[in-house]
A and B are shown apart, each in its own frame.
Chain A
Amino acid sequence: MIAAVGRVYEWEVAKLLAQKRTYLGLISAMLVPIVFVVVLVLQTGGPTDVPLGRYIRDTGLAAPFVVLFFMSIWGLPLITALVAGDIVAAESHNDTLKTILTRSRNRGQVFAGKVLAVLTYTFVVVFAMGLVGLAAGTIAWGFHPLTSLSGTKVSAGHGFGLLVASLAVYFLPLAGIAAFGLLLSTVTRNSAASVVGSLMFALLMQLLGVLPGTETIRPYLLGTQFEAWHGFLRTPADWVPVIRALWVCALYISIPVAAAYLVFLRRDVASQ
């Protein structure tokens, strides 16, 4: 079973690597922090009203954190949806589901391979953006100690560890958007509708978080989990938002994936 899913996964990744949209998303994710750093190098002002914004020129370590903040609104959701919304719909568009579903892999194995491929892409996008941001920031401002959100200095090495942990936690809500995109991709069988629908879902989650009267549900909204990494940058570390992000995102990931799985398992594969 694991070997079978592994082979599907391997070819799902190979298919992603053969498609332009994958590179479009990945290159965009890497280009944004570079442009951001270049603009700040050329200007005197800075994003002082966002977490770590006022320390942006103190160390290259601050740059990826600031970029994470800006990209959570629609940039990364769009880049994620670009692939997640397409991964099943493209099979319908090319009518290739019938090709792979008449081989020796059952539908569950094919679906699992696709889920893993989407999550891999999402993970790579987050880390590519964070690490390119770090590299660009370091070239511009050096690799110096980082001032945490509590105002204390942490060494550059420790700061790098915090960045990796933050990127890992940041991946969780993005995986929730990917799961929603996968569901739309499976149900609508339409790539464009799934990409747009996923982006709308991400924006709705952000919008709900800023509307008055939503305070009680705010900790459980997907958009809020994009800030869970703040917990790592406090001294001492605040694990409450991190732990909450773990279980809240697990729900946002598992529910759409389970629904998509059931649809995928039962759907008639007829011509479009």
Chain B
Amino acid sequence: MNDALPVSARGLFKRYGELVAVDHVDLTVEKGDVFGYLGPNGAGKTTSLRMLLGLIRPTEGSINLFGRDPQVQGARALEGVAGFVEGPTFYPYLSARRNLRLLAAYDDGDSRSRIEELLDLVELRDRGEDKVGGFSHGMRQRLGIAGALLREPKLLLLDEPTTGLDPAGMRDMRDLVRRLAGEGITVLLSSHLLAEVEELCNRVAIIRKGRIVYEGQLHELLATAKSGYSLRSPQPEHARALLLNQAGIREVTSVDGTLRFQAEEEAVAALSIALGQARIGVTALVPETASLEELFLGMTEGEQAAGAEEAVA
């Protein structure tokens, strides 16, 4: 594998008639990243991934996967790349094992021992002879991972890998992604599950109505959030009056009996002493940091209402 970036997309644009599905998207995924591609349903995540995999031609823009362009080099550009979009699909009338053998044949390999190893990994070995048509969603997702790993990828593209799974299935899938990332595989993971992205990813891009509204380190994104403190007291009015007159305490607001404010740590320490001296009881004084969810909703505000009609898979 060369030293080129696993994913480098520039000015990616896709139009379907009047509808712009992806609007000049730039994406950079670096080696070793677990990159979260976030966006509400219909924001253009899947269309972007399909373009990256060479399934859809961009109207404009360029894509390079490890320095190779899928639109120019076709299947050769996907060397070292595997994954699935909108859930993995298989031939329902073939068994799990035969589906994997078919995929291996399409990759110039037919290592039966590797297929057995992967069926083991995704805990489907004893269902290997069963037709995929009878598989549950979770089993197909796991078989999809096995199908992707058959290629021994350096870059794994996973589109909503935990969608539709039960809680145990979601946990297992996340463990698997974490493990693969630990083995050095670069992962590009699209999701609308923010907790999942927060748990797994080091870098993120947020897409809204086809446009990237943020791309960068996840911790930097979280650091941009305005942090503050919340205070609960059995005497909220007295507490509020004290806060308003206390040095270093700013932007005091009161919502449903909880007081929120901005302050430096030293000022908060002084506040706690002042509250005690004023004999004002405190039931909670806690630092608050905006979650990824709050940041995400802030960036994609209004999307839910406007996006429904414009949904493009």
- Which A residues are within 8 Å of any B CB, using their own CB? 4, 7-8, 10-11, 14-15, 18-19, 94-107, 266, 268-271
Contacts and interface: CB of A to CB of B under 8 A. Distances in A.
Contacts of A8: 105-106
A270 B75 contact: no
Interface residues of B, number: 36
Contacts, number: 95
25 contacts: A7-B106, A7-B108, A11-B105, A15-B102, A18-B91, A18-B93, A18-B94, A95-B89, A97-B55, A98-B55, A98-B86, A99-B147, A100-B102, A100-B106, A102-B55, A102-B83, A103-B75, A103-B107, A104-B79, A104-B107, A106-B74, A268-B50, A268-B56, A270-B47, A270-B313
Interface string B37-53: 00000000011001001
Contacts of B46: 271
Interface in B61-80: 74-76, 78-79
Given A268-B55, A270-B55, A270-B56, A99 B103 contact: yes
Given A99-B103, A104-B107, A268-B57, 11 more contacts: A94-B89, A95-B89, A96-B91, A98-B55, A102-B82, A103-B106, A103-B151, A104-B76, A104-B78, A268-B50, A270-B50
B78 A107 contact: no
A233 B108 CA distance: 47
A19 B106 CA distance: 20
B36 interface: no
A10 B106 CA distance: 11
Contacts of B47: 270
B89 A98 contact: yes
Contacts of A107: 74-75
Contacts of A266: 57
A270 B75 CA distance: 17
A111 to B, nearest CB: 12
B89 A99 contact: yes
Contact of B85 (A4, A98, A104): A98
Contacts of A269: 50, 55-56
Given A103-B75, A104-B78, A106-B74, A14 B102 contact: yes
A98 B55 CA distance: 7
A19 B131 CA distance: 12
B128 interface: no
Contacts of B102: 11, 14-15, 100
